Amino acid sequence: MATGRNTTTVIKFILLGFSDSPKFKIALFAVFMGTYILTVAWNLGLIVLIRMDSHLHTPMYFFLSNLSFLDFCYVTSTTPKMLSDFLRKPEFISFMGCTVQYFFFSSLGLTECCLLAAMAYDRYVAICSPLLYTAIMSPTLCLQMVLAAYTTGFFGSLIQLCALLQLHFCGPNVIHHFFCDLPQLLVLSCSETFFLQVIKFVIAVIFGVTSILIIMISYGYVIATILKISSVAGRAKTFNTCASHLTAVIFFFGSGLFVYMHPRAGDSLGYDKIASVFYTVVIPMLNPLIYSLRNKDIKDALKRYKKKGMFSHCHG
């Protein structure tokens, strides 16, 4: 801490993480390291596959490759620091490092909210207006939707960051979490945090609630259209194209809303930590699997890639 005239200013925070037990830390390090490696491999692998296979050059997979890129960045904004903290004591992070981590983490999270809404709209057009799908979901519109998601996510996070930097931190400097998140920083501030709490709530409504409404309206029309399909097989096949996205939406928004929308309470810190692990570490790892395991196009692309590999190997 740096000493001022009458107060002290926090220049670094201590991240408590999960446990003080060395054995438990080693076990957690192994688990999270394995999870991080799988997450990076699966998400980057999916991006490369979509990029290489011309059959996957469609709006749906363009959005999916951007989701994989977001998940890769999202998990990288928190996990490497968490892994290094398992191996050293104490687990310090500078004030600037803390705010930068929060900014990137928040930007990526808000962008993902927008992107999941865009993907829901894509499924709505594909199922409710199949004959106009190619005309409506043009490459230009898809690019504009993705750029809009990144831009709004960046500015939404920037607004919160500017308000956060106006706060004063004079101690304590212990964060009961494994990364720098806004709810934990608000608790530690010596300043009046009402304005930032209002901004946080407004941002949550604009990004979270609006995205959920777009998704719910889109799937309301989708379900109505599916119910009009006469054959059971046809209904199942059409619904399967949405099932992966719906699963990803429920996981992401369910865990995120639990952390950011429920009232703060001292005994909820453990639950917050578990929910945070779920949406910062587990979901980015699961998303490529959710979209791949029941997806015929992805499976076919993998088969083609394997055949090409075997063919080139035989004639190499």
Residue 108 included in any domain:
yes
Q: How far is CA 232 from each of CA 127, 165, 228, 235, 238, rounded to the nearest angstrom?
A: 16, 56, 10, 5, 10
Expressed in percent and rounded to 5, the helix, strand and coil fractions of the chain are: 80, 5, 20
Integer Cα distance of 195 and 154 in angstroms: 20
Please count the other Cβ atoms lying within 10 Å of the Cβ belonging to residue 107. 24
The residues near 140 (Cβ < 8 Å, ≥ 6 apart) are: none
Is residue 2 in a domain? no
What pLDDT, in 10s, does the model give residues 133-187? 999 999 999 999 999 999 999 999 999 999 999 999 987 888 888 899 888 888 8
Residue 316 lies in a domain: no
Residue 145: name the closest of 66, 245, 246, 48 by CA: 66
Contact 79, 51 (CB under 8 A): no
**Residue 7 scores a pLDDT above 90:** no
Does a structural domain hold residue 314? no
Residues 6+ apart with CB under 8 A from 252: 112, 116, 279, 283
Does some domain include residue 158?
yes
In a domain, 313, yes or no: no
- pLDDT tens, residue by residue, 83-141: 998 887 767 889 999 999 999 999 999 999 999 999 999 999 999 999 999 999 999 99
Q: How confident is the model at residue 8 (pLDDT cuts 50, 70, 90)?
A: low
Q: Report the pLDDT value the prediction gives residue 5, as an integer from 0 to 100.
A: 43
Residue 261 belongs to domain spanning: 8-307
Residues 17-69: tens digit of each pLDDT: 877 777 788 899 999 999 999 999 999 999 999 999 888 899 999 999 999 99
Identify the CATH number of the domain in which residue 177 sits. 1.20.1070.10
Question: Helix, strand or coil for residue 8?
Answer: strand
122 contact partners, CB below 8 Å, separation of at least 6: 59, 60, 63, 137, 142
Q: What DSSP assignment string belongs to 149-207? A: HHHHHHHHHHHHHHHHTTS---S--EESSSS--HHHHHHH-SS--HHHHHHHHHHIIII
Per-residue pLDDT at 70: 95
Residues 290 and 109: their CA atoms lie apart, in Å, by 19
Identify whether 138 is part of a domain.
yes
Give phi and psi for 129, each to the nearest 5. Answer: -135, 60
In a domain, 162, yes or no: yes
Does residue 263 have a pLDDT over 70? no
What is the number of other CB atoms lying within 10 angstroms of the CB of residue 102? Answer: 22
Number of separate domains in the chain: 1
The mean pLDDT value of the chain amounts to 86
